[in-house]
């Protein structure tokens, strides 16, 4: 077996085949770039005053990104912004820790990082509702929209680049993640409605595709339709299994993972409505 794999490696080397990089950088608009690590995405902004990096994701990804920024742009990283508290987006931040680098997050994200002893750099700058960073002609607007997914999850609007970046609770081109385990469903709908009022052309999610405001609006419409369908099912006294068989939202069947994840999405919304919204305790409803 060892000789087989060694032989294959030699053939690859002799043929000159390139082994695909696990990471890549794509230009979005002007000086704004998307960094891709498998299923995860972040963005970074290059300015003469320094680079703004968002979610580092993990140590391997952050190490690769830092080297690429130094090689391509020869500029220091001035800010690192966390989108929220989830470890799969904010680990590896120590790679960027320098005397001149400022780490920023919503105060609830920082609170959670500290209280749960998350092994990442604790942000030194926090905010409650909104703050802006200014680097020459560039402005980055950070906003908190209430509960949605995770703790202290924010939107980031890159004004000059007309680009909105949101992680986990909004995406385009794909269904929400399986059972929506850490989602506040109504909060997610409310937050997505709020960001749709902002002025942007390009949308980048922490997962899935780059899109436009109309594509994000379709995702918002899906969330509303999903929530409404499950509420009606509970009101009619249907079991979860019956809803998973009967609910179809085929106007959104072009979303990736539609067939596989629609039953899971239904289950996730059902569980939140029964528990968090208290529909399972209401005397006027027959629930199982």
Where exactly are the structural domains of the chain?
15-168, 172-202+212-288
d(CA 47, CA 60): 24
More confident call, 19 vs 92: 92
d(CA 159, CA 28): 13
Q: Taking residues 190-212, what's their average pLDDT?
A: 97
Q: What fold is seen in the domain 15-168?
A: Metallo-beta-lactamase; Chain A (3.60.15)
Q: Between β-strands 50-54 and 77-81, what pairing exists: parallel, antiparallel or unpaired?
A: parallel
Q: Residue 286: which pLDDT band, with cuts at 50, 70 and 90?
A: confident
Note the pLDDT tens digit of each residue in 208-264: 999 999 999 999 999 999 999 999 999 999 999 999 999 999 999 999 999 999 999
pLDDT reading at 4 higher than 90: no
Q: Taking residues 8-17, what's their average pLDDT?
A: 41
Note the pLDDT tens digit of each residue in 59-116: 999 999 999 999 999 999 999 999 999 999 999 999 999 999 999 999 999 999 999 9
Positive/negative CA dihedral, 91, 94, 98, 103 = positive
> Residue 137, class by beta-carbon neighbours within 10 Å (0-12 exposed, 13-18 middle, 19+ buried)?
exposed
**What mean pLDDT, rounded, does the chain reach?**
92
- The predicted pLDDT at position 6 comes to 43
More confident call, 270 vs 14: 270
Which of 66, 56, 65 shows the shortest CA–CA distance to 23?
Answer: 65
- The predicted pLDDT at position 126 comes to 98
d(CA 148, CA 129): 14
pLDDT reading at 21 higher than 60: yes
d(CA 11, CA 61): 29
* Window from 19-33, 123-137, 160-174, 262-276 with minimum mean pLDDT: 19-33
């Amino acid at each position: 077996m060892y000789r087989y794999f060694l032989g294959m490696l030699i053939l690859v080397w002799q043929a000159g085949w390139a082994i695909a990089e696990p990471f890549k950088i794509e230009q979005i608009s002007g000086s704004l770039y998307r960094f891709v690590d498998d299923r995860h995405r972040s963005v970074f902004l290059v300015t003469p005053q320094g680079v703004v990096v968002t979610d580092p994701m993990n140590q391997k990804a952050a190490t690769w990104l830092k080297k690429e920024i130094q090689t391509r742009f020869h500029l220091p990283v001035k800010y690192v912004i966390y989108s929220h508290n989830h470890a799969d987006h904010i680990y590896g931040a120590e790679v960027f820790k320098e005397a001149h680098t400022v780490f920023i997050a919503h105060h609830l994200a920082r609170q959670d990082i500290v209280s749960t002893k998350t092994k990442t750099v604790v942000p030194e700058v926090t905010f409650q509702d909104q703050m802006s960073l200014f680097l020459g002609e560039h402005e980055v607007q950070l906003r908190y929209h209430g509960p949605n997914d995770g703790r202290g999850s924010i939107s980031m609007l890159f004004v000059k680049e007309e680009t909105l970046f949101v992680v986990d609770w909004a995406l385009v081109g794909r269904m929400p993640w399986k059972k929506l385990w850490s989602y506040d469903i109504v909060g997610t709908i409310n937050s997505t409605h709020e960001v749709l009022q902002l002025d942007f052309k390009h949308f980048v999610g922490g997962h899935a595709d780059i899109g436009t405001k109309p594509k994000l609006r379709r995702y918002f419409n899906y969330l509303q339709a999903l929530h409404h369908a499950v509420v009606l099912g509970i009101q009619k006294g249907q079991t979860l299994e019956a809803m998973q068989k009967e609910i179809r939202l085929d106007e959104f069947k072009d979303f990736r993972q539609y067939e596989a994840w629609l039953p899971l999405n239904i289950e996730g919304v059902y569980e939140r409505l029964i528990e968090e919204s208290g529909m399972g305790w209401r005397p006027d409803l027959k629930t199982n």
